[in-house]
DNA sequence: AAGCAATTTCGTGTATACACGCCGCGTGCA
DNA sequence: TGCACGCGGCGTGTATACACGAAATTGCTT
C-alpha cells in the first residue's frame, strides 16, 4: 500500500502538502510526532477509512521504526479522538456512531458561531482583509471544478474567522473537531450543489461579519454548519452508510 | 476529604456527585490509564502545582512500574492539556500564560452557555429534577463552611445542565476544559464572597432554566463564568501570581 | 456435518537495554 | 577574574525482549 514510493518525488521538491496550518515554529519534533502527523493526515484525507485497523507492528515496519514510537503516535491520535484504542485489542480509525457525529456537528456549529460573534466584535483591519480575501478565493475555487482546492480555501475562510476571534483555545478546539469530522465532511463537500449552497451561505455570513452584526453572523454560521450536517446525513442515508 | 459525606441528601434523591461523569462501563483499564487518572487527580486537586516537573523515573518508582506506562500516562495528560511535554526536556504540569487562561475561561463560558441553552430546549422531567436537586444541594453546602463539598456540588449542578443538553461531545469538552482550569478555579472558589455571589448567579440561572428561557439561561451562565474568571484574575493579581 | 473446546498463534502491555541530546561543571586561556 | 570550550552525568527517545490475554484454528465429539 504505497510504502516505498514516499521519498522520491518527480520534481526533486518534496511535496509536503499541508504546511499551511503549522502552529509552532516547528521544533525538532520526535519520530512519534512525525508518525502521528502522517497518520492524522491520512485519516483526514480519507486515505485511511474509519474502522480501519492500525497494527503497531505493521506501522512500525512501514515507518521503519520500532513499536514504541508507533504506540505513542497512536496514543496521541487516540487522545484527539481520531482513533479509538481498546485495551488489549488495538487501535482502529475512529468510527463514531451516527448520534456521535450528530453531536460533533452540532458542537462545531455552536463553536463556529461563537467564533463568528467574537470575530465581529474584535477583528482588526488585517482580519477584515483576510476574511474578504479568503472569501473571494473561495468563490473563485467554487466556480472551477477543483474540489480539493475548494476544500482548502473553504478551510482558509473559516480559519480567517477563527483568527479574528482572538481566542486560540477556541480556534484549536474547532480545528480538532473538524479533523474528527473530516472523513464525513468530504463526502458532501465534493457535491456541486453543496458548494453552491455553501457559497451563498458564505456570502450572507461574510456580509454580516463585515457589517459587524454579531448576532446575524452567529446565526448565519450556525445555519451554515447545520446545512452541511443535514446534507451529510441525507447523503449518508442514501449511500447506506 | 469529604469522601464519605456523599449519599445523604435533603430530598430522597441521591445526588451521587462524581460517578455521574464516568464515561465507559469501567473496562479493565491498563496501568498507564490508572497512572494518568491518578496524576490527573493530583493536578486537578492542586496537589501537583503548575510548573512541577514530572520525572519519568521518579514516577516509575512511585507507582512501581517501568518508565513505559508512565510515559504513556504523560502523553495522555499532555494531549488533554494538563501537562506540557517538551521533546528531550520532559514533562511539567501545564502552566498556561495569563492570556491562555483568559482564553480558556472565555471558551468554557461560551460552551457552558451553549449547554444551558440546549438544556432549556431539551430537558425532560428527570433533568429538571436533577437540576433542582443539585441546585438545592449547592445552596445547602454553600451555607456550611465545607469548601470541598461545595465545589463538588457546584460541579454536580453544572453536570446536571450538561446532561440535560443531550450532547455528549459538548459535555466532554466542557469537563476537559474545567480540568485544565481547576488549579486556577480552586483559589477563588474557596473565598466566601465568591460562594455567595455564585449562589445568587445560580439562582438566576436555575430560574431561567426552569422557566425555559434559553436566552436568559445562556446569558446568566456566561455572566456566571465571567464573574468567576474576573474574580480569579483579581485574586491572582493581588497574590502576584 | 456442525458445534464445541483446547491449543496455538498473534498482538498488545510492560520491562529492560541502548543511544543521543541537553545541561552543568571544571579547566584553560585571555 | 571572567569567559569559552570541552567533558561527564543525566534524562529522554528508541529499540528489543518478555508476559499475558484474546482471537483463530484445529481436532474431537455428537
CATH at B53: 1.10.10.10
By C-alpha distance, the chain B residue nearest A71 is B72
Cβ-count burial of B111 within 10 angstroms (0-12 exposed, 13-18 middle, 19+ buried)?
Answer: buried
Reply yes or no on whether the pLDDT at A17 is more than 60: no
Same domain, B186 and B73: no
Q: Mean pLDDT of all residues in chain A?
A: 87
Asked if the Cβ–Cβ distance from A30 to B87 is below 8 Å, we say: yes
Residue B174 CB neighbours (<10 A): 22
CA distance B153 to B20: 12
Q: For chain A, where are the E strands, in sequence order?
A: 53-54, 83-86, 90-93
CA distance B69 to B74: 9
Q: For chain B, where are the E strands, in sequence order?
A: 53-54, 83-86, 90-93
The whole-number pLDDT of residue B14 equals 39
CA distance B20 to B76: 22
Cell numbers 473571494 label which residue? A136
Same domain, B123 and B217: yes
A226 touches chain B (CB under 8 A): no
Q: Enumerate the β-bridge partners of residue B85.
A: B91
Q: Summarize the confidence of residues A107-120 as an average pLDDT.
A: 98
Q: Helices then strands (H, E): number in chain A?
A: 9, 3
Q: Which nucleotides of C are covered by protein (CB under 7 A)?
A: 11-17, 21-23
What are the residue ranges in chain B where pLDDT is below 50? 1-25
* Pick from A29, A107, A110: CB nearest B87: A29
Sheet holding A83-86, edge to edge: A53-54, A90-93, A83-86
* Contact, B86 CB vs strand C, < 7 Å: no
* A235 contact partners, CB below 8 Å, separation of at least 6: A187, A188, A191
The whole-number pLDDT of residue A14 equals 33
Q: Name the protein residue, with chain letter, whose CA is nearest the C1' of D21.
A: A88
Asked if the Cβ–Cβ distance from B173 to A107 is below 8 Å, we say: yes
A167 touches chain B (CB under 8 A): yes
Q: Summarize the confidence of residues A181-194 as an average pLDDT.
A: 86
Chain B residues inside the 8 Å CB shell of A169: 100, 103-104, 106-107, 177
Chain A residues inside the 8 Å CB shell of B24: none
**Residue after which a domain boundary falls, among A93, A110, A145:** A93
For residue B208, give the CATH number of its domain.
Answer: 1.20.120.530
Reply yes or no on whether the pLDDT at A12 is more than 90: no
Same domain, A123 and A184: yes
Same domain, B104 and B176: yes
Closest CA to B45 of B12, B87, B9, B93: B93
Same domain, A69 and A132: no
Q: Tens of pLDDT along A42-70?
A: 999 999 999 999 999 999 999 999 999 99
User: Which nucleotide is nearest to B29 if distance is taken from CA to C1'?
Assistant: C13
Same domain, A80 and A109: no
B66: three-class secondary structure by DSSP: coil
% helix, strand, coil for chain A, step of 5: 70, 5, 30
CA distance B16 to B19: 7
* Pick from A88, A100, A167: CB nearest B106: A167
CA distance A22 to B12: 54
The whole-number pLDDT of residue A187 equals 79
Cell numbers 472569501 label which residue? A135
Same domain, A204 and A134: yes
CA/C1' separation B37–D4 (Å): 47
CA distance B171 to B82: 18
CA/C1' separation B88–C28 (Å): 31
Q: Tens of pLDDT along A137-146?
A: 999 998 887 8
Q: How many residues does chain B have?
A: 241
Q: Which nucleotides of D are covered by protein (CB under 7 A)?
A: 11-17, 21-23
- C-alpha to C-alpha distances, B62 to A63, A96, B70, B72, B78, nearest whole angstrom: 34, 37, 10, 15, 20
Task: Count up the domains in chain A and report the number.
Answer: 2
Q: Residue B36 in contact with residue B179, Cβ under 8 Å?
A: no
Asked if the Cβ–Cβ distance from A27 to B75 is below 8 Å, we say: no
* Contact, B72 CB vs strand C, < 7 Å: yes
Same domain, B26 and B10: yes
User: Which nucleotide is nearest to B66 if distance is taken from CA to C1'?
Assistant: C15
Same domain, B104 and B126: yes
CA distance A87 to A77: 15
CA/C1' separation B73–C10 (Å): 26
Evaluate the CA torsion angle B96, B99, B102, B106 in order and state its sign: negative
* B48 contact partners, CB below 8 Å, separation of at least 6: B39, B42, B54, B93
Size of interface A-B (CB pairs under 8 A): 67
The whole-number pLDDT of residue A241 equals 60
**Residue after which a domain boundary falls, among B43, B61, B93:** B93
Reply yes or no on whether the pLDDT at A209 is more than 60: yes
Same domain, B106 and B219: yes
Where residue A13 falls among pLDDT bands split at 50, 70, 90? Answer: very low
Q: Residue A116 in contact with residue A110, Cβ under 8 Å?
A: no
Reply yes or no on whether the pLDDT at A174 is more than 90: yes
pTM: 0.87
Structure-block grid coordinates of residue B236: 491572582
Same domain, A142 and A163: yes
Same domain, B140 and B200: yes
CA/C1' separation A19–C22 (Å): 28
Q: Enumerate the β-bridge partners of residue A83.
A: A93
The whole-number pLDDT of residue B36 equals 96
Q: Enumerate the β-bridge partners of residue B90.
A: B86
**Residue after which a domain boundary falls, among A93, A110, A134:** A93
Q: Which of A3-17, A86-100, B34-48 has the lowest mean pLDDT?
A: A3-17
- CA distance, residue B79 to nearest chain A CA (Å): 6
* B16 contact partners, CB below 8 Å, separation of at least 6: B6, B7
Reply yes or no on whether the pLDDT at A3 is more than 60: no
The whole-number pLDDT of residue A240 equals 63
B116 touches chain A (CB under 8 A): no
* Pick from B29, B75, B87: CB nearest A76: B75
Chain B residues inside the 8 Å CB shell of A103: 167-170
Q: Tens of pLDDT along B76-122?
A: 999 999 999 999 999 999 999 999 999 999 999 999 999 999 999 99
B56 touches chain A (CB under 8 A): no
Q: Which domain holds residue A42?
A: 5-93
The whole-number pLDDT of residue B208 equals 97
Amino acid at each position: 500500500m504505497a510504502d516505498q514510493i514516499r521519498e522520491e518525488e518527480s520534481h526533486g521538491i518534496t511535496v509536503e502538502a499541508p504546511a499551511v496550518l503549522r502552529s509552532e515554529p516547528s521544533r525538532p519534533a520526535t519520530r512519534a510526532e512525525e508518525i502521528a502527523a502522517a497518520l492524522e493526515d491520512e485519516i483526514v484525507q480519507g486515505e485511511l477509512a474509519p474502522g480501519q485497523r492500525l497494527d503497531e507492528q505493521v506501522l512500525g515496519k512501514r515507518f521503519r521504526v520500532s513499536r514504541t514510537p508507533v504506540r505513542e503516535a497512536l496514543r496521541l491520535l487516540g487522545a484527539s479522538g481520531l482513533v479509538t484504542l481498546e485495551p488489549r485489542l488495538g487501535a482502529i480509525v475512529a468510527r463514531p456512531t451516527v448520534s456521535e457525529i450528530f453531536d460533533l456537528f452540532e458542537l462545531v456549529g455552536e463553536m463556529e458561531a461563537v467564533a463568528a460573534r467574537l470575530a465581529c466584535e474584535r477583528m482588526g483591519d488585517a482580519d477584515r482583509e483576510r476574511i474578504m480575501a479568503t472569501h473571494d478565493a473561495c468563490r473563485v475555487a467554487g466556480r472551477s471544478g477543483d474540489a480539493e482546492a475548494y476544500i482548502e480555501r473553504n478551510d482558509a475562510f473559516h480559519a480567517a474567522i477563527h483568527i479574528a476571534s482572538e481566542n486560540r483555545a477556541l480556534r484549536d478546539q474547532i480545528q480538532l473537531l473538524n479533523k474528527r469530522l473530516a472523513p464525513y465532511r468530504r463526502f458532501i463537500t465534493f457535491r456541486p450543489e453543496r458548494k453552491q449552497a455553501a457559497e451563498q451561505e458564505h456570502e450572507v455570513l461574510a456580509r454580516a461579519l463585515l457589517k459587524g452584526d454579531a448576532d446575524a453572523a452567529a446565526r448565519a454560521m450556525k445555519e451554515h454548519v447545520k446545512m452541511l450536517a443535514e446534507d451529510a446525513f441525507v447523503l449518508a442515508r442514501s449511500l447506506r452508510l
